[in-house]
Chain A
Amino acid sequence: MTYRYGDFTAVDDLSLDIPEGEFFALLGPNGAGKTTLLNILMTLTAPTSGSISIMGYDVVREVAAVRRELGIVFQDPALDDRLTAAENLEIHAVLYGIPRNERQTEIRRTLAWASLDNVDGRPVKTFSGGMKRRLELGRALMHGPRVLLFDEPTLGLDPQGRRHLWDRIATLREKGMTVLMTTHNLSEAEACDRVGIIDRGRLVAIGKPTALIAEHSASETASLEDVFIALTGRQLFDENASARDRMVSFAKQGGEHTR
């Protein structure tokens, strides 16, 4: 699969097969093509050439079917801050066509799962980062997906929040959920079944974390971080702030009409 815009090849002839039930981590420096790959998996962008299927459904031709199979957690919260947790979940339930008579039960169940059943009635803007992330994870599972896509799930969480979230993800893994996550946290990646490292749109390494360390590093005590640096180089990947980054920083300053 390849994706180009203009002269720039964001994903270059990448081929990847993730078996059902696997816990897969996608690593790569900024700008390596992780986001593009995720966008294609989410059916937001179509690949320039090649094809991808998820649970047997083609991401270009069978968009709706693919979307029902996916549970997605974005890098930063995609919640409505002014609504309560239950109201956010209700929107999700309607969008995914959960029948009206099941909606309230599903919402209660998800709130309990995310340990948020005691804060119902408060708008999401009063939530901590960890609470928002739990809510989003619960929401992503609400419609019974079989594949989860996580973009940096533990970014910005304190160690307690990270541990809590990680435990939740581990229980999903036991239930046979297929998980694909991107991360910068290499110790988390080491806990995954397999790791893929992508650099400049190419998959430069793939395999079990222990196998990757053995293959790409001479020393016995090497970590995945050493492998990562060895494969993707030491240079810094500085990018210009995206339109989104600028909006977020503007919103944080609390400019006029930021909502």
Chain B
Amino acid sequence: MSGAGSISARTGIVPSVVWIMWRREMLRYFRDRSQIFGGFSRTILWLVILGFGLGASLREIEGYSYAEYILPGVVTLNILFSSLQCAISLVWDREVGLLRSVIVSPAPILSVALGRLFGGATIAMIQGGIPLLFIPVIGARIELWSLVAALIIMFFMGMTITAGGIVIASRLKTFEGFGAISNGIIQPLYFLSGSIFPLRGVIGGVGFLDIPDSVRDELRRLGVFAINGGWVVQLPVWLQTLVYMNPVSYQLDLLRYVLLDFQQLPLVADVLVTFALAPVAAVIAAASMRHMLRRR
């Protein structure tokens, strides 16, 4: 093995390195029962218990049951958890894990970063797929092509969020506990994405008053999504602004569009944020990983 030409290889993409780092993430994931368990327990809590529980009072949102409405939200929640877990494990890996021996190897760090990103995105897609197994339980009818499209969107979501997480993780010197990430990052992104309530109007109803179709259409024109009767509540402007600023809102909207054929934001924005943001975020993540590893 000569050193010739290896300087240029340090900045390049070596497929075998990307592949082995991806495979490492996969092996780690399938040996970690707790992560898979977390995916199932979140699904049962949110989709089944909250979906049916709250769904009993919120009879419907635009013709969809509450459980159907939050299905893409629960998928998103699982993607958020697994992507950020993958990003945070970078801090552990750097301090007490294999990554230390990786960064003194001649392998280009860009390929290492890409392998990890693809790994994070793949795991996110699998974890996000867990709620989809519950489709028969909540009684939704979703076609095969929708599922395939959803999985592709989920992969890109996973990629973007893992990349975002890596940017954050690479700035952490030490890391003691997942709570800060969970409470400080996952929950705002989740709750402010239209995951559990419609974006432009929240309507709580007990269902004792039927709204005539003409009134419902009128409300929809005004940007208010009506539930089968009850009160009409509009989100305060500051809350709306936060929702519009959250990239997850657009990804989730696209996911809900392909799964339920229901969406609330401009489709062009959804597609752009979902597919164009991922490569941009990946490049930034690779750069910050490089920066982090050089600082030591």
Residues of A within 8 A of B (CB): 39, 42-45, 57, 62-70, 72, 74, 76, 78-83, 87-88, 90-92, 94-98, 100, 123, 139, 143-144, 243-244, 246-248, 250-251, 255-259
Contacts and interface: CB of A to CB of B under 8 A. Distances in A.
B20 A247 contact: no
- Cβ-closest 6 pairs across A and B: A65-B3, A64-B6, A257-B178, A243-B174, A95-B105, A78-B100
Given A57-B3, A78-B97, A94-B17, A247 B106 contact: no
Interface residues of B, number: 46
Given A95-B107, A244-B95, 6 more contacts: A65-B6, A78-B100, A96-B106, A247-B175, A255-B176, A258-B92
B187 interface: no
Given A79-B98, A247-B96, A251-B92, A91 B104 contact: no
Interface of B: 1-3, 6-7, 9-10, 14, 16-17, 19-21, 24, 27-28, 31-32, 85, 88-89, 91-92, 95-107, 173-179, 293-294, 296
8 contacts: A44-B103, A64-B6, A78-B97, A80-B98, A91-B20, A95-B105, A247-B174, A257-B177
A91 B24 contact: yes
B95 A243 contact: yes
A64 B27 contact: no
A76 B104 CA distance: 15
Given A44-B296, A258-B92, A96 B20 contact: no
Nearest to B112: A95
Contacts of B176: 246-247, 250, 255
Given A82-B27, A83-B28, A247-B174, A42 B104 contact: yes
A139 B101 contact: yes
Nearest to A57: B3
A67 to B, nearest CB: 4
